[in-house]
Structures are given as structure tokens and as C-alpha cells.
């Protein structure tokens, strides 16, 4: 039995594709089910397969698939007319997805291989075709946040009792010698104070000439 290898592209992005191998006697429903699995699409979605020429122009509808992939009696082999036979597919995952299928090669079936199968995967499917990200949940569960005391934002500073306590602590530390004033060089201070500061009378206009 002949095996057809189709390269299935995501819309016009030829960098994202899957190679699907399927026997000619199998149906489009079998092909579509393998495509959905290989791209990790949402299951149980309608699909329409459309014939296409070599310029990717749409032709007639080949088969309409319901969400259960039932009612399909169209064998793949009955719709292979060209060495590079092409099809278009419109389906849905989490949003509408367009697919382009092109026959790459006709092979002989291998013993022990279950068809259809995905023989090659290239590129990640588009984000809109994948499950939405799950919300981030704290593993510890809900954490109670204590209520803010409104007075903490309207405080006028330390109370009189606190100021008095600070003063007493400072006086006690001073008496105990724990607080010392910085040393001052009074000779240098007196010398600096006798320096004549430069005033307007000392300004020489010739310096500007």
C-alpha cells in the first residue's frame, strides 16, 4: 500500500510545519486527527479541506469534517492527481487556523508502523492556536494582609513625653562621658578670623583689561 508524505504548513509560515505520513486508503478524518495531535491543537473542532492548484488558489471543497470527524468517506488516494498535490484546510483550535498541505513523497509502507504518523516536527505552533496560559496561583494559598493603621500616615512626630525621655537619656549619656564634643583648634580659628576678606575696594579693574 502506498504511503503519502504531506508537509503541513501553518498558513503562510513555511518555517512551522509537520510531516505527516498516511496510507492512501485512509481518510481525511484520519489525516486531520494526526495533524491536530502533532500541532497540539484543541480537540473536537470542525474542519474543511479544499483542493488547491500549484499557485495555492482555492478549488472545490473535498470534505467537511464535523467535530467528531464522522461522515467522511473520502480516501486520500482518490484525490491525488499531481506529484505535488496540494490542499488547503480551515479549522479551529483556540482561534481559526489556516493550513496548507503539499505532497512531498510517495513511499512504501513499513512493517510494524502505524499510520498515519508524524515523521518530522519543525517550529512551534502559533500562540493563538495553543491553550491560554494558566493564571499564577500562590502555592501557599490566600495570605491575609493586615489592615493598615490610618494613624501611621498622619503622625505629627514624637510626643512630648518621648521628647522629654530623649533629652534625659542624652543628659545621662553626657554625664557618663559617652557624648563628647568634637575638639576645636581655637588658635587656628582665631587666625582664620583675622584674615581680611577680599571686598569691593580691593577689586582691581585692570584685571579685566
pLDDT at 169 over 50: yes
pLDDT on residue 44: 92
Where does the pLDDT of residue 69 fall: very low under 50, low under 70, confident under 90, or very high at 90 and above? confident
State the Cα–Cα distance between residues 131 and 129, nearest whole angstrom. 7
pLDDT on residue 208: 47
Nearest to 72 by CA among 26, 39, 22, 3: 26
Number of H helices, E strands in the chain: 3, 7
pLDDT digits (tens, 9 = 90+) for 10-43: 987 889 999 999 999 999 999 999 999 999 999 9
Domain boundaries, given as residue ranges, for the chain: 2-123
Question: Class of the 2-123 domain?
Answer: alpha beta
The CA angle 144-148-154, to the nearest 5 degrees, is 175
pLDDT on residue 73: 86
Amino acid at each position: 500500500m502506498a504511503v503519502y508524505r504531506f508537509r503541513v504548513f501553518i498558513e503562510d509560515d513555511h518555517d512551522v510545519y509537520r510531516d505527516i505520513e498516511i496510507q492512501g486508503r485512509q481518510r481525511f478524518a484520519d489525516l486531520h486527527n494526526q495533524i491536530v495531535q502533532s500541532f497540539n491543537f484543541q480537540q473536537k473542532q470542525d474542519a474543511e479541506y479544499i483542493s488547491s492548484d500549484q499557485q495555492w488558489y482555492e478549488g472545490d471543497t473535498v470534505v467537511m469534517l464535523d467535530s467528531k470527524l464522522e461522515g467522511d468517506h473520502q480516501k486520500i488516494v482518490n484525490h491525488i492527481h499531481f506529484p505535488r498535490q496540494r490542499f488547503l484546510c480551515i479549522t479551529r483550535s483556540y482561534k481559526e487556523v489556516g493550513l496548507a498541505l503539499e505532497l512531498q513523497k510517495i513511499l512504501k509502507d513499513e512493517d510494524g508502523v502505524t499510520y498515519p504518523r508524524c515523521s518530522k516536527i519543525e517550529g512551534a505552533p502559533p500562540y493563538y492556536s495553543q491553550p491560554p496560559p494558566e493564571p499564577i496561583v500562590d502555592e501557599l494559598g490566600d495570605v491575609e494582609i493586615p489592615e493598615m493603621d490610618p494613624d501611621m500616615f498622619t503622625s505629627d512626630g514624637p510626643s512630648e513625653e518621648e521628647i522629654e525621655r530623649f533629652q534625659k537619656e542624652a543628659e545621662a549619656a553626657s554625664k557618663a562621658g559617652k557624648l563628647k564634643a568634637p575638639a576645636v583648634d581655637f588658635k587656628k580659628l582665631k587666625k582664620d578670623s583675622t584674615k581680611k576678606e577680599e571686598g569691593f575696594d580691593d577689586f582691581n579693574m585692570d584685571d579685566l583689561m
